[in-house]
Structure 1
Amino acid sequence: MDKRQIGSSDLYVSKMGLGCMSLGTDEKQAKEIVQTALENGINYFDTADLYDFGRNEEIVGNALKEVRDDVIIATKVGNRWNDVSEGWRWDPSKEYIKSAVKDSLSRLKVEYIDYYQLHGGTIEDNFEESIEAFEELKEEGYIRYYGISSIRPNVIKKVLSQSSIQSVMMQYSLLDRRPEEWMELLDDHRVSIIARGPLAKGLLSEKMLSKASDKIKENGYLDYSYPELEEVLRSIREKAADNRSMNELALQYDLAHSSVASVIPGASSPRQLKENIEAVNGPPLSAEEVEVVTRLTKLSRYQQHRD
């Protein structure tokens, strides 16, 4: 599988990574999915300390221990769950980040983390303190590079101006094109996008509206009412996906933008993963195909968390 550079780092990741959140807690099944990924050239695995409250990191670490030097392991920090009785709370403090990384290293059974990401953020955060923590972790050898996972414009601009992040993880799909507004700014800083949610909760998979939840049926999806969603998916299928699966069209659309280093759909089975691998290994979209799907879909903007 082709690889792309994250930002200006020396991390070259498969153009599709494995979003590990959907692996579940059945370790045998999770290892089958990870092994399928490895056999098909995927070298980028994205987890978080929050997923299954640390269990996901343990499973990912166990599944990758024999190939540690051949893969890029990414995890996230900031959602603190070890001092509350239920759920979690946001804690981007330097003290917590520098403590949590050691717990992640232990669960992953690795000596360093290739890519460490701040798992959210608000404009009220003390970014100077958080960035200082990540920079010190780099110097101390606990992490190689760092980034953020955020869709808040004011957070992204603030961190870009003060840090050496290499990417911003953002929800990005044909039904959520909001990141396109920020591509020029990110390119200027040599910062990549890691695209999560590229299949829009399955709406852009072959199952399309059969994947719509009751909430989507009632409220629509982002800027699309449910009737609009029905219409846009029908139009995409009829006018843009003649010779491609919906999965392929959706994943190739994200990858058509050079700002995107990798797409990271999740997979809950080897079969589902293979479908996505086949999709990203298909031919890139032509300029005409990109023009068609951009004409059919909305270029939305983030309305909140702006200066």
Structure 2
Amino acid sequence: MEKNRLGTSNLFVSKLGLGCMSLGTDPTKARGIIEAALEEGVNYFDTADLYDHGVNETIVGEALKHVRSQVVIATKVGNRWNEDGQGWHWDASKAYIKEAVKQSLKRLQTEYIDLYQLHGGMIEDNIEETIEAFEELKSEGIIRYYGISSIRPNVIREYVSKSSIVSVMMQYSLLDRRPEETIMDLLEQKRISIVTRGPVAKGIFSSNGLKKIPESGYMNYSYAKIKSLLEQLQEQLVSDKRSLTELALQFNLAHKPVAAVVAGASSIEQLRTNAKAVNAKPLTAEELHILRSLTVQNQYESHR
């Protein structure tokens, strides 16, 4: 599988990253999916300390320890579980980040984290202090690089101007084109990579897409609009050579600053479908034009 450089870092990540949140808590099943990903050439695995109270990191670390030097492990910090374990709160303080990373290292069974990401972020945070925490971890060799996972333009701009982030993870799909408004151009100019998540929009752009459409719609699309869009895509672009999933993932990869598409997989079959989609031929100019004309250029309504 083709790999792309992540920002200005020395990390080269596969075009498809495995979003580990959907692996579940069964180690055997999860390991099977991770092994299938490795077989397909995936080297980029994204988890977070929040997922399943840290169990996800433990499963990922155990499954990857035999190939540790060959993979890129990304995890996240910032969402802190309450003491009763019944919910979490936001904590981007330096003290918490430097303590939380120690626990992630233990669960992942590794001496370093390739990409450590702030799992959100608010404009009200003490951003300078948060950056200081990441920079210290980097200088100490505990993390190799850091980034943020955010859909808030105002937060992203702060980190772009004040930190040495190499990537921004953000939601992006045919139904959520908000990053195109201002963020994509900015990140491309600064040589900061985008890692996209949610490319199939909760399964809408899959073989069972019609069954996956929420009755309440998705983003600013109603149920009827999504149904109509899928029908138009089936009529104009889907064929024996092109699936909805291919169109969705290749749409993400058609944008220059996008280094990788992180997609979840709850089965080996789903993982292989995603791998086939990213290994397919890139979209033609005509296909890209049709996809853009059939969908809406959304805009951020808050945190601008």
TM-score, scaled relative to structure 1: 0.97
Partner residue, 2:236:
239
Partner residue, 1:261:
259
Moved more, 293-302 or 79-88: 79-88
Q: For the residues of structure 2 that align with 1:244 and 1:89, how far apart are their CA atoms?
A: 43
Q: For the residues of structure 1 that align with 2:85 and 2:118, how far apart are their CA atoms?
A: 23
Q: For the residues of structure 2 that align with 1:55 and 1:89, how far apart are their CA atoms?
A: 19
Contact conserved, 2:82 with 2:89, CA < 8 A, in 1? no
Cα deviation code 1:126-166 (max 9, x no counterpart): 10000000000000000000000000111111111100001
Task: Please state how far the C-alpha of 1:178 moved relative to its aligned partner.
Answer: 0.9
Cα deviation code 1:246-290 (max 9, x no counterpart): 111111110111110100110001011011111111111111110
Cα deviation code 1:26-57 (max 9, x no counterpart): 00000000000001110000000000010000
1:29 aligns with 2:29: yes
Contact conserved, 2:49 with 2:76, CA < 8 A, in 1? yes
Partner residue, 1:197:
198
1:297 aligns with 2:295: yes
Partner residue, 2:212:
211
Cα deviation code 1:227-260 (max 9, x no counterpart): 1111111112211223301111111110111110
Q: For the residues of structure 2 that align with 1:34 and 1:176, how far apart are their CA atoms?
A: 28
1:14-163 to 2 correspondences below 5 Å: 14-81=14-81, 83-163=83-163
Letter in 2 for 1:271: E
Match of 1:271 among 269, 272, 276: 269
Task: Please state how far the C-alpha of 1:61 moved relative to its aligned partner.
Answer: 0.2
Task: Please state how far the C-alpha of 1:85 moved relative to its aligned partner.
Answer: 4.0
Partner residue, 2:185:
184
What 5-or-longer segments of structure 2 have no aligned partner?
none
Decide whether aligned partners of structure 1 residues 84 and 131 sit closer, same or farther in structure 2, where only a CA change above 3 A counts. farther
Q: For the residues of structure 2 that align with 1:82 and 1:106, how far apart are their CA atoms?
A: 20
- Residue identity (%): 62
Partner residue, 1:282:
280
Task: Please state how far the C-alpha of 1:83 moved relative to its aligned partner.
Answer: 3.0
Task: Please state how far the C-alpha of 1:82 moved relative to its aligned partner.
Answer: 5.4
Q: For the residues of structure 2 that align with 1:175 and 1:97, how far apart are their CA atoms?
A: 33
Q: For the residues of structure 2 that align with 1:206 and 1:177, how far apart are their CA atoms?
A: 22
Cα deviation code 1:2-33 (max 9, x no counterpart): 00011111110000010000000000000000
Q: Alpha carbon RMSD of aligned pairs, Å?
A: 0.9
